Structure 1
């Protein structure tokens, strides 16, 4: 089971990067801030969509399994969603649609169930501020 994410921790982590995500600042967040936001949102996805059918990877920060289905234990999982930190955070906050990201090539979604991740997004609201 995924480690519980405190809602205040999630809001703070997303808040620290939300200006950058919305394009209000050109300053890229530091690795620590970026990693905290990626991990909090990915772990939240694993909590709201528990299971092991799809692996979501956001290197180098996190990989989580989610969505009900058979557990994957060895080798490359059959259903994988992989992207960079910024794209993941845009998806996680609803600033980017999953299907658009796949179409534009910024998200790699392999396997028949990978697209099911879209049903569970967004997992956090971008802070307005």
Structure 2
């Protein structure tokens, strides 16, 4: 199981500066030129997104440690924390596996296209492979609370297409 790195990098953007764990540094450092194409999170919200994901993960781990049912872990946090955590984690996924071949949807807060492969045609903007997840399922996977196989076996993942398994990319 992967964990978030404790090593931090100092990031400066305009007049703002902050530190973030190394798992996010690469994503943010490469985001500059690609940011205008990225709709899942705004550049100005990267710090808030990072903080929200860390907050969600800490709350989820505490819950998971106190219950035998990791597949139902869903911390009670404000809606904006959930939204930012989802958007930021999708941003990290998109940076880890860029491409137009698979659309990952986490309604209502975001969707990204990842992995190389067949693109959508001009008449249908949806690629041939689509994965839909509820926010709590996505965040459990992104944070390593559960595995792809566990969530798939529990019926929590809706996936259409040949590339319907993101286990090699998760946890983030």
TM-score (norm. length: structure 1): 0.80
Per chain length, whose mean CA-contact separation is higher, i.e. which structure has more relative contact order (CA < 8 Å, sep 6+)?
Answer: 1
What is the count of residue pairs matched by the alignment? Answer: 122
User: Secondary structure of the equivalent of 1:56?
Assistant: strand
Unaligned stretches of 5+ in structure 2?
1-33, 67-73
Match of 1:86 among 136, 141, 162: 136
1:12 alignment counterpart: 51
Look at both structures and tell me which one has the larger radius of gyration over its CA atoms: 2
1:67 alignment counterpart: 115
Question: Residue 21 of structure 1 contacts residue 89 of structure 1 at CA under 8 Å; is this kept in 2?
Answer: no
Q: Displaced runs of 4+ in structure 1, greater than 6 A? A: 4-7
| Alpha-carbon shift at residue 103 of structure 1 (Å) | 1.2
Q: CA RMSD in A?
A: 2.5
1:118 alignment counterpart: 167
| Alpha-carbon shift at residue 65 of structure 1 (Å) | 0.5
2:103 alignment counterpart: 55
Match of 1:28 among 70, 73, 76: 76
| Alpha-carbon shift at residue 34 of structure 1 (Å) | 0.3
Question: Is the deviation greater in 106-115 or in 8-17?
Answer: 8-17
User: Secondary structure of the equivalent of 1:51?
Assistant: strand
TM-score (norm. length: structure 2): 0.62
Question: Residue 58 of structure 1 contacts residue 88 of structure 1 at CA under 8 Å; is this kept in 2?
Answer: yes
